[in-house]
Structure 1
Amino acid sequence: MLNDDQLNSYHKHGYCVIENFKNLAQCQLLQQRAKQIVNQFSAADISIFSTREQQRNADDYFLSSGDKIRCFFEEEAIDEKGNITVDKDLAINKLGHAMHQYDATFRHFSTDQKIQKICRQIGFKDPRLLQSMYIFKQPRIGGVVDIHQDSTFLYTEPMSVVGFWFALEDATLENGCLWGMPGGQKTPLEKIMKRKKNGLGIKFQQLADNQYQEQDFVPLPVKAGTLIMFDGRFPHFSKANRSAKTRHAYTLHIIEGQAQYPEYNWLQREDKQEFPSFEQLLAMDAL
């Protein structure tokens, strides 16, 4: 549960920071499992992940990953000929986007009773676990993530997505911690990313021009085990990691099940199943 200060921060500033939400053993277990997934991954299918507008890779490998566990490469880990330039375990940008459902270790981490209680506390009636991402933020090549609002990519009507960002390692100014704009959740949603009607690739629909200024953002360095929770309209970004250290983090996105989830959203389940509730995920472990 959030204390009064944390709840007030979430409503006033659009985010709150909860230290020691996970213990180091839980963080290390998730890191170990992520490494196993990467080691089992075949590099035959390469999809380079970027959030720089249309540079964001929108090939079928990405668009069909909503109900799967897939690896995505850092842009700087692949040369012009498509060859991996660093060790594979240092070349992956992220895992996505359904570890919370289809991997037991991630599922256990994601269905924490504390997360469920927070969802109820901030007003969810029917919380649904939409997406999970494991972000590596690799040393020296960990890419910039430009200023964005999560509702751009995970839009519902009314808007409902909340991001749960777990630091699995210390996130510092040197290795690319989050930066956020306090109160920025009160700004309009700037754009929506949509699938093109032919299903090939994505496009952005511009809704506003928020003209963000970097001086309006504050750094959010945190220790491993910390949860940063933020509203879907909260503008945030992270700088490149040019340090010698990784900055592993796990992000879980939750939406309101009673909200409308448009067919034009990029994340669609190929199996046509509904997005799972906490109860449905917990039942999988009971089988």
Structure 2
Amino acid sequence: MALTSAQLAQWEEDGYLILPGFFSPSETTEMLERACTLLASFDPTTHPMTRFTTSADGDHVGDEYFLSSGDKIRFFLEPGAVTPATAEAPAKLNVPAERSVNKIGHALLIDPVFGKYTLSERVRDVAKSLGTHKSARVLQSMVICKQPRIGGQVPCHNDSTFLYTDPPSAVGCWIALEDCTPANGCLSFLPGSHKTARVSSRFVRAPGGGTTFEDVPSVQKNEEDWDNLPGWKEAPCTAGTMVLIHGSVMHRSPPNPSDKTRMIYTFHMIDGGEGFTYDEKNWLQPTPEMPFPKLF
């Protein structure tokens, strides 16, 4: 499925592109049911209670369970699902286990169901028609659950900050497994921001352990208050929609106060071809057992 000239023009103008019905109802249901099966298998008794945090003040997760997840399927918890440890008691869940998970990642494409759709000819054709990558590599594949009533906010960001290449090349493929609405935390975008937002910092492994942000040399910092600029647009979509997300476009999603999940599957592409560098500073690392697979 190659993109049309009108779709490519929209992509160039906005920095994101919504493709309704990209996956059929049966395909979408297969992915959703597989995600639910994985959630049902989650055993909190063997879990380090790693919470996934992306707060606007820069507090991000960075323990070994997180940092070594690049070739594994692991579970990261909603902060609101965990009662923190005290001197008298260990951390524990305060909701049912299957409702505690923020996301499942970061190598979900090793699962046969998600792998089948991630590396499909249909996705490959769309990626090729974008013309963004010489040699597309797939990384950071994950289900994000946005759990009812505790699904947290994802603050304003762009993806190349977190999946940095020199020069920047990240593109996100974001797939709605359920209807995503303003009520349950759909995406919002600042159209056209990919043209002006500079990738001036990157999310890296801190020298002493954990994660941090590091300035990108020779790139002027962004001074814009992106959250408060006019022009933000919500992007509600139905199950089966795929949204392409430019690595520099600013986007966000609010908390989910509703009683419905907002399950999505997402993976990212970077250029692994000549002239593009993905280095050892990045938080997410390939392994000898699982290098980032080529999409084409």
Question: How high is the TM-score relative to the length of structure 2?
Answer: 0.90
Aligned match for 2:203, one of 187, 193, 198: 193
Q: CA deviation at 1:230?
A: 1.2
- 8 Å contact kept, 2:135–2:295: no
- Superposed CA deviations along residues 64-97 of structure 1, whole A, max 9, x for unmatched, are 1011110000010011332111111111000011
Partner of 2:249: 234
Of stretches 239-248 and 25-34 in structure 1, the one that deviates more from structure 2 is: 25-34
Structure 2 unaligned segments of length 5 or more: list them.
86-90, 216-220
The residue correspondences of 1:96-115 to structure 2 (distance < 5 A) are: 96-100=105-109, 102-115=110-123
Counterpart Cα distance in 2 of 1:115 and 1:37 = 24
- Asked whether 1:278 is paired with 2:295, we answer yes
2:92 aligns to what SS in structure 1?
Answer: coil
Note closer, same or farther for the CA distance 1:12–1:246 as it changes in structure 2 (3 Å cut).
same
- Superposed CA deviations along residues 135-190 of structure 1, whole A, max 9, x for unmatched, are 10111000000000000100001111100000111100000000001001012124
Q: CA deviation at 1:270?
A: 3.8
Partner of 1:260: 277
- Asked whether 1:78 is paired with 2:73, we answer no
- 8 Å contact kept, 1:132–1:250: yes
Q: CA deviation at 1:272?
A: 6.1
- 8 Å contact kept, 1:163–1:229: yes
Partner of 1:285: none
Of stretches 44-53 and 57-66 in structure 1, the one that deviates more from structure 2 is: 44-53
The residue correspondences of 1:112-123 to structure 2 (distance < 5 A) are: 112-123=120-131
Partner of 2:27: 26
Q: CA deviation at 1:121?
A: 1.0
Partner of 1:42: 43
2:249 aligns to what SS in structure 1?
Answer: coil
Alignment-mate amino acid for residue 280 of structure 2: E
- Superposed CA deviations along residues 25-66 of structure 1, whole A, max 9, x for unmatched, are 111111111122222222122110011154211111111101
Aligned match for 1:175, one of 181, 184, 195: 184
- Asked whether 1:131 is paired with 2:140, we answer yes
Number of equivalenced pairs:
277
Q: CA deviation at 1:216?
A: 3.0
Q: CA deviation at 1:119?
A: 1.2
2:93 aligns to what SS in structure 1?
Answer: coil
Counterpart Cα distance in 2 of 1:209 and 1:113 = 41
2:262 aligns to what SS in structure 1?
Answer: coil
Partner of 1:282: none
Note closer, same or farther for the CA distance 1:114–1:76 as it changes in structure 2 (3 Å cut).
same
Partner of 1:249: 264
Counterpart Cα distance in 2 of 1:210 and 1:262 = 28
Note closer, same or farther for the CA distance 1:213–1:37 as it changes in structure 2 (3 Å cut).
closer
Q: CA deviation at 1:246?
A: 0.7
Partner of 1:155: 164
Counterpart Cα distance in 2 of 1:174 and 1:188 = 31
CA RMSD of aligned residues (A): 1.4
- Asked whether 1:210 is paired with 2:221, we answer no
Question: How high is the TM-score relative to the length of structure 1?
Answer: 0.92
